[in-house]
Amino acid sequence: MPLVSVILPTYNRAHMIKNAIDSVLTQTFTDLELIIADDASNDDTEAVISAIPDERIHYFRCEKNGGAAAARNFGISKASPSSEWIAFEDSDDIWHSDKLEKQFLSLSKDKKAQFCYHKIRYDMGGGFSAILPDERVPLEKKSGDIMRELLNDNLVDCPSLLVRKDLLEKTGLFDETLPALEDYDLAIRLSKAARAAFTNEILLESSYSTTGVSGSPKNYLIASCLILSKYKKDYLETDTFNHRLSIILADAERVGVKNEIVAFLEKLLKASY
């Protein structure tokens, strides 16, 4: 029975999903199942998946298109009862073959850690790339109690996350009401409840997509405001509120929606008093 359930949400990615699937199935750590949550695609996604002969693949189709958070939650609900760990993959990302093996090695070094994440290379296009989490953050702040550093700025990209299933169930799944940053919201809740392990290696190749959440700056800003309001007490107690607010306002000005975001923030923060 699988020890790790890998959740892969997808929507109309028939032209690229096979590469993502292959990067999971060729892991050096083999005790896994791959749960594919098809978010009501209308292309050939199901046919592409059906043509891959591996019994570890379990395909489920959502009744309606609900977005990445809803698809991930649907996929989690289909995980085998025997699974102890949950990992995440996106349909346009590629895992390195030793990703899970190295994450379990990191977890073995900190027996109290209940989730693990790692560095990713993010292809920005035009020959440019970025490494996440930010390499300017000191290494010692990326493991153990990482809540304050997370409130300062996100460290955990969803496809880098390997988390104990019981912790995920205890802290709650992805917030489907957020228009973006549902992985950041989840990471904050995980960090409030448990220690983190960090694998200081690039174990995943990701890319910018104008058709995904990363292609909507306004959704990102709205979600950032909602998270600032949701965890206002934590931001204030850790003295990270002003830093996070300044990032939101700078991004809003760059996108050209500063007045709109300021008004939205004022309404949210007044309501949370």
The enclosing domain of 62 has a CATH number of 3.90.550.10
Given 191, 214, 237, which residue is the final one in a domain? 214
Angle at 164 between CA 9 and CA 233, to 5 degrees: 90
Q: What stretches of 76-223 adopt beta strand conformation (E)?
A: 85-88, 94-95, 113-125, 128-132, 162-164, 195-207
Range of the domain at 259: 216-271
Q: Answer yes or no: do 230 and 154 share one domain.
A: no
CA nearest 248: which of 239, 129, 240, 68?
240
d(CA 184, CA 152) in angstroms, rounded, equals: 11
CA nearest 40: which of 7, 14, 63, 24?
63
Q: Answer yes or no: do 74 and 192 share one domain.
A: yes
Q: Answer yes or no: do 141 and 224 share one domain.
A: no
Q: Answer yes or no: do 171 and 263 share one domain.
A: no
H or E element in which residue 9 lies: strand 4-10
pLDDT value, residue 213: 45
Look-up of token digits 């296009």: 125
- Residue 241 carries which side chain, given as an amino acid letter? F
d(CA 246, CA 136) in angstroms, rounded, equals: 18
d(CA 65, CA 194) in angstroms, rounded, equals: 32
Q: Averaged in consecutive runs of 10 residues, what is the pLDDT profile of the chain (273 residues)?
A: 90 96 97 97 96 97 95 97 96 96 97 97 88 94 97 95 97 96 97 98 84 70 96 96 96 95 93 64
Which phi and psi angles does 212 have, rounded to 5°?
-105, -175
Q: Answer yes or no: do 140 and 226 share one domain.
A: no
Q: Answer yes or no: do 9 and 124 share one domain.
A: yes
For residue 25, CA distances in Å to 35, 52, 64 come to 12, 10, 27
Q: Answer yes or no: do 75 and 196 share one domain.
A: yes
Q: Answer yes or no: do 267 and 227 share one domain.
A: yes
Q: Answer yes or no: do 250 and 176 share one domain.
A: no
Question: Based on the structure, what is the number of domains in the chain?
Answer: 2
CA quadruple 146, 147, 153, 158: dihedral, nearest 10:
80
pLDDT value, residue 127: 86
pLDDT value, residue 211: 53
Q: Answer yes or no: do 76 and 148 share one domain.
A: yes
Q: What stretches of 97-170 adopt beta strand conformation (E)?
A: 113-125, 128-132, 162-164
Q: Answer yes or no: do 71 and 179 share one domain.
A: yes
Q: Answer yes or no: do 231 and 141 share one domain.
A: no
Given 194, 214, 234, which residue is the final one in a domain? 214
pLDDT value, residue 271: 75
d(CA 168, CA 93) in angstroms, rounded, equals: 22
- pTM across the whole model: 0.94
Given 214, 240, 255, which residue is the final one in a domain? 214
pLDDT value, residue 269: 87
